[in-house]
Structure 1
Amino acid sequence: MISLSTLLNPPEGLTLSEILVISLILGMLHGATPDEHTWPITFSYAVGKYSSKEGMKAGFLFSLGFTIQRAFLTTLGFIGLATIYEKYNLDGPVYTIVGIVMAIAGSYILKGRYLHLPIDVLFKSKHHSTKTSGVELYDIPLKMTIVHGLIAGFGFGAYASIITFVLAPQLPSIVYAPLPGLMFGIGTMIMQMIFGAMFGNILRTKRLTEEEMSYVARKTAGRVLYYGGLVFTMVGLLIIAFPVIDNFAISTGNPIPNLDAIDIGFLLVLSVVGIIGISSIILGIKEATRLSRTNRKSANFSAYKKS
């Protein structure tokens, strides 16, 4: 059995199978711990689809894009080109771009347009909307999660450092270079599908009609993506302007990355999933209940007039 110490500090001289197993387990740890590059996106799309099946699909598609990028990253690590991450802090630019894409997706759900960018043409998506409780809300293709995954994969943390700078260079040839990233992505995918199913099932625990659930789900997804995207963008721009901000961290004493400190990444997850996500669900339920009550009164009034 592989110890936690071996996972987080892999020794030299590992076999190919050992490298792949460690990469897979690290990916599962990455997907299971609150990571700012995964949880906000999976949560938003999974809640927006309000079903375990669609939530798993959201987690799968996001992780698919993430896995492709991670395979590319470990290839760069093998040939020595990933040193750019040691020279430059890319957190600011990645947060900014991720935030912009989130806001674009949220804008579509809430307003029916991608902030005037032709992303719907890129994905050949139809302009699909549904009137829920008299309010028109728009659905978004889950294919957008692949774009989020590709972009988020450029984010760099402790797990990425291990597979890129410790495991990838130990591979026998460049032919195997993408494999640690691939296994890491699959590990992340497994956990994100599980959490996606859980997130997608949240609204099923509430006593809501199908119409009310649809309203709350889309409103929540739109708000989390839009306002969460603005938060990501502002934090990214602040880090670009003042890089020292990214060094903020309060140790928790836990050795597992993503749980080892209260830092910018953890605060982003807390802000987007915790604060914006939960408050959006609560607000959405209140709005849906109020709209349903108003619609019922209008229907009763119309029936009374006809009689």
Structure 2
Amino acid sequence: MIDLNTVLNPPEELSVSEILVISLILGMLHGATPDEHTWPITFSYAIGKYSTKGGMKAGFLFSLGFTIQRAFLTTIGFIGLASFYERYNLDGPVYAIVGIVMAIAGSYILKGRYLHLPIDVLLKSKHHSEKTNGVELRDIPLKMTIVHGLIAGFGFGAYATIITFVLAPKLPSIVFAPLPGAMFGIGTMIMQIIFGAIFGSIIRTRRLTEEQVSYIARKTAGRVLYYGGLVFVIAGLLIIAFPAIDNFAISTGNPIPNLDAIDIGFLLVITVVGIIGISSLILGIKEANRLSKSNYKNLGKL
């Protein structure tokens, strides 16, 4: 029987099937707990699609890129090439790069300025805009979530440590090496699809017109990506300049990673999803109502 202690502290002797099951459970824990590499991005894109289906797609596409990277990570962990994670702290650079990509996507939605990346050509991504409440907002570049997933996968934490340095080396051959990472990614994907569906349907809980919903969703997504991206960039640069910041942590007494301490990652989730996300949502609702009232007044003058 696999219990929580076994999952977080895997024993020496494990079969391949047990390693894969533990990796899947670790992935589900990773996707369900407030992680700075998953929640801000899934929230932004999911709420921007303002539907359960759109939110699920956002969670799926992000996790797809993440899964590919994690499979690569456990492969290099098996052959001993992941040791650079033990020598170098990549949190700062990863935060900064993730933040830049977030800000690029947010800038495109809000301002129409978009930096095209090679992934656009590979995915044949089409960008378009529409006027909502008389305001032109770009569509959510949903396929960019794959880019986010690939980049965010280079972030390293307790879960990544277990699958890379504990589980991957226990496998019998390199043929199996990508599997713990893939199963971890699938576990993350399951939970991100669920949370994506919840995030994507949040706006639907209010009595709003389709036009208002579209405006609020796109404004919220754009602001969270743009301003949240700037927060990530600042955090990344601060960690690069002052590495000690990354060691800040206040223990919560909870043994589950991402819930075990109030640290820089947890604070990023609270800032981007909690503060920027909720305030952007409230502001978007106020703006949509104000624009609707203005439109009604203009119609009355005709």
With structure 2 as the length reference, what TM-score do the two structures score? 0.98
The answer as to 2:5 corresponding to 1:5 is: yes
Deviation, structure 1 residue 142: 1.4
> Which residue is equivalent to 2:161?
161
Contact 1:107 1:115 in 2 (8 A): no
Identity of aligned residues (%): 85
| Structure 1: gaps (5+ residues) | 303-307
RMSD: 1.2
Aligned to 1:141: 141
Match of 1:260 in 2: 260
Q: Kindly report which structure 2 residues correspond to 1:193-208, keeping only aligned pairs within 5 A, or say none.
A: 193-208=193-208
The corresponding residue for 2:22 is 22
In structure 2, list runs of 5 or more residues that go unmatched: none
Write the deviation string for residues 124-149 of structure 1: whole angstroms up to 9, x where unpaired: 43341010001000013311000000
Matched, 1:74 2:85: no
C-alpha distance in structure 2 between counterparts of 1:155 and 1:117, whole Å: 21
**Count of residues in correspondence between the two structures:** 302
Q: Report whether the alignment pairs 1:192 with 2:183.
A: no
SS of alignment partner, residue 34 of structure 2: coil
> CA deviation digits over 1:24-73, x for unaligned, max 9?
00000000000000000000000000000010000000000000000000
CA offset digits 1:209-268 (Å, max 9, x no partner): 100000000000000000000000000000000000000000000000000000000000
Quote the residue 2:60 is aligned against: 60
Question: TM-score of the superposition, structure 1-length normalised?
Answer: 0.96
CA distance in 2, matches of 1:203, 1:248: 35
CA distance in 1, matches of 2:138, 2:297: 26
User: What is the alpha-carbon distance in structure 2 between the residues aligned to residue 117 and residue 199 of structure 1?
Assistant: 27
Structure 1 runs (4+) deviating above 3 angstroms are 115-127
Question: Which letter does structure 2 place at the counterpart of 1:23?
Answer: S
CA–CA distance in 1 between the matches of 2:164 and 2:19?
Answer: 11
Provide the residue aligned with 1:88 in structure 2. Answer: 88
Q: What amino acid does structure 1 have at the position aligned with 2:135?
A: V
